[in-house]
Amino acid sequence: MMALYALSRPRVMKGASIRRLRIFPSAGEPLVSPGSEVSAETIIGKYSSRQRLRYVRMESSGEQIIATLLVTEGQKVKRGEVLGYYSYMFGLGYTEYTSPCDGEVVEISHATGRVAIREEPSELACHLPGTVEHVDAAVGVLVRSRGDIVMGAAGAGFARSGILVRKAEDPGEAVSPQKIGPQDADRVILAGSTVTRELLEACLRYRVSGIVAGSAPASVVGWYENLVQELDWDEFLARYWTRELKKRDAAVPRPTEIAPSLVLVEGYGKMPMSVEAFECLRSFEGEKVFIDGASLHQVAAGRWDAGPCVIRPVLDEGDLVSAGDAPGDRCRNTSYENGKRSFLREIAPGARVRVFGLTSGPVEGVVEGYVQEGPDFRPMVPVEHVRVSTLTGERITVPVFNVYVLE
């Protein structure tokens, strides 16, 4: 039987050294160099994931466009700019054709009446203040920083930043969608327990930057992952229409900043957030944080620092507190176990483990063995399970994502 391994990442770290890869969704053009100091607002590069052709069909007859064209091939245009117009019925009817994006007119087809526009490359903001350590046009920009970090067990969405606002009074409270409003635009919401589809749609509608909570049903996470990848600004306006965003001069967000980033500290299901993580996140309230719902695939490949997380950057050494602080401090330092830096440990029968996400606090126990078959917690991503005998005598079956191997 093949051995199973648990990624024994600490859930909460204080004053940690952070190396975060800001990934280009496709091959990009870095705008920074190694050694550069960057802020949350710094544009670190451009990428061509949205450099596709968009089409506007104008009125045509036979082999000619009969609408009045106002642009030519090779001309740069802005979103909402008038490309042409068509007047009919002796001036009683009028149609105006506008550009759906910023870009360049690359082709005008008189035979079909189509005007093809190539979108401009999209900008990628850093969102994490620090120092650029490495640059790779094919991958992204590696940023070195320092701060307090709460790791997630699951997530979805691209990296964002914003002021953290607490909507839950305790880690077991499920936040109602009615608590989200226009005042929460560009904020990161601390949502407590379980995230619902209705809450995510409310956060989308009011342009929230991110949501961090204890858990969410696997079906909700799967739906949201697909939405994040497919949602563009035009579809957003169609689904979540608001008057001010429909205005022609309204600012269009970057493609990676349309949907909020989602981080689940405990994982899939209906579980409260651990007290340790909730108290640490509550201490961030009113401060600007970095939130990333990045996929766990890189974590499974050994990148322990690549998973979903919330980071409060602390770049001033005077703000850092040593690892020997009392447990009652703002965030308990759990970055290392017995001074060892191994984050990948085998889950063998008889191993002592700590299980997260089942109650408001972790549960310790001993591994009895592996479970050959278990439910899929994510679409097309089977999750291995182990059976654990807790110190209270209870026998539970849990995914390896929720297991921390003790010495």
Q: What is the pLDDT along the chain (407 residues), one digit of tens a residue?
A: 344 444 445 578 888 888 888 888 777 789 999 999 999 999 999 887 555 788 898 988 878 888 889 999 999 998 888 999 988 877 677 888 988 888 899 999 988 889 999 888 888 999 999 999 988 877 788 899 999 999 888 889 999 999 999 999 999 999 999 999 989 999 999 998 999 999 999 999 999 999 999 999 888 988 998 888 888 777 787 777 665 555 555 677 888 888 999 999 988 888 888 888 999 999 999 999 999 987 544 444 444 456 889 999 986 644 333 333 333 333 433 333 333 334 445 678 888 887 765 555 567 889 888 776 544 433 333 456 778 888 888 888 877 767 777 76
Q: What is the DSSP letter of 111?
A: T
Q: Which helix (H) or strand (E) holds 298?
A: helix 297-300
Q: Are strands 395-399 and 37-38 parallel, antiparallel or unpaired?
A: unpaired
For residues 188 and 289, give the distance between their C-alpha atoms in angstroms, rounded to a whole number. 8
Q: What is the DSSP letter of 361?
A: S
Contact 211, 195 (CB under 8 A): yes
Q: In Å, what is the CA distance from 178 to each residue of 184, 191, 200? A: 12, 12, 12
pLDDT given at position 327? 32
Three state DSSP letters for 155-221: EECCCEEEEEEECCCCCCCECCHHHCCHHHCCEEEEEEEECCHHHHHHHHHCCCCEEEEEEECHHHH
pLDDT given at position 310? 94
Contact 18, 33 (CB under 8 A): no
Instruction: Return the exposure string of 357-379: e unless at least 16 CB atoms fall within 10 Å of the residue's CB, then b.
Output: bbebebbebebeebeeeeeebbe
pLDDT given at position 7? 45
Q: In Å, what is the CA distance from 407 to each residue of 5, 83, 339, 352, 377? A: 14, 68, 11, 7, 28
Among 208, 215, 168, 210, CA closest to 192: 168
pLDDT given at position 128? 93
pLDDT given at position 386? 79
For residues 122 and 379, give the distance between their C-alpha atoms in angstroms, rounded to a whole number. 29
Helix 218-230, helix 197-205: angle, nearest 10: 30
Contact 143, 131 (CB under 8 A): yes
pLDDT given at position 312? 94
Contact 388, 355 (CB under 8 A): yes
Listed in sequence order, the residues at least 6 apart from 258 whose beta carbon sits closer than 8 Å to its beta carbon are 231, 232, 233, 236
**How large is the greatest C-alpha to C-alpha distance in the chain, in angstroms?**
87
- Count of residues for the chain? 407
Contact 124, 24 (CB under 8 A): yes
Cross-strand partners of 251: none
For residues 308 and 299, give the distance between their C-alpha atoms in angstroms, rounded to a whole number. 9
Q: What are phi and psi of 18, to 5 degrees?
A: -120, 130
For residues 186 and 92, give the distance between their C-alpha atoms in angstroms, rounded to a whole number. 44
Kindly report the pTM of this predicted structure: 0.69
Domains and CATH numbers, the chain: 53-120 (2.40.50.100), 147-317 (3.50.30), 344-405 (2.30.30)
Q: In Å, what is the CA distance from 191 to each residue of 58, 214, 245? A: 47, 8, 26
